[in-house]
Amino acid sequence: MIRENFVLRKITLIQDELVKLADLAKYSLKEITSDFVRQAALERYLERIINRAIDINQHMIAEIATKETSPPLDYKETFLRLADLGIYTADFSQRIARSVGTRNILIHEYDAVDYGSIYSSISDCLRDYHEYCNYILKFLEQSRGSPKKTVLKV
């Protein structure tokens, strides 16, 4: 059973971080990279947003996948698998799954981080994760009305 409170808490946290990320988007690349606090905040917001979505993905897959659903091999595939489960479109899954690459760069602290690329991911993140939250919320809403009672209200 999907733990709705868990998913909703993660969605709320993602939405809160998106607001903070939008505030950072007001600054230029130079203003971000020349200020350690802004640079660290940008990295952390992106990392937290993507990780929280991965948490949601893994939970949803574990709870609604069938025997025929192949388990995701990595974090990128968790986004792709939600399309397989009908939560959002395949086109959207391909687009948002690219954010895992940004997460990997930030998490693993690769030596040559291209901050131009990280900075440019702000607009993609804002667009994609607002849409992601809407898809997840819509799925939860539809699940509430289904006779199978997939969603567990706690």
The answer to whether residue 95 sits within a structural domain is yes
10-63 pLDDT, tens digit per residue, is 999 999 999 999 999 999 999 999 999 999 999 999 999 999 999 999 999 999
pTM of the model: 0.89
Residue 148, pLDDT score: 46
For residue 85, the domain's CATH number is: 1.20.120.580
Residue 94 lies in a domain: yes
- pLDDT grade for 147, boundaries at 50, 70 and 90: very low
Helices (H), 1-154: 4-24, 29-33, 36-64, 75-84, 90-97, 99-108, 115-145
Within a domain: residue 102? Answer: yes
Does 46 map to a domain?
yes
Residue 34 belongs to domain spanning: 2-146
- Say if 152 falls within a structural domain: no
Write the pLDDT tens digit of every residue in 75-131: 999 999 999 999 999 999 999 999 999 999 888 876 677 889 899 999 999 999 999
In a domain, 23, yes or no: yes
How many of the other CB atoms lie within 10 Å of CB of 123?
12
Work out the end-to-end distance of the chain between its first and last CA atoms, rounded to an integer number of angstroms: 11
Structural domains of the chain, count: 1
Is residue 55 included in any domain, yes or no? yes
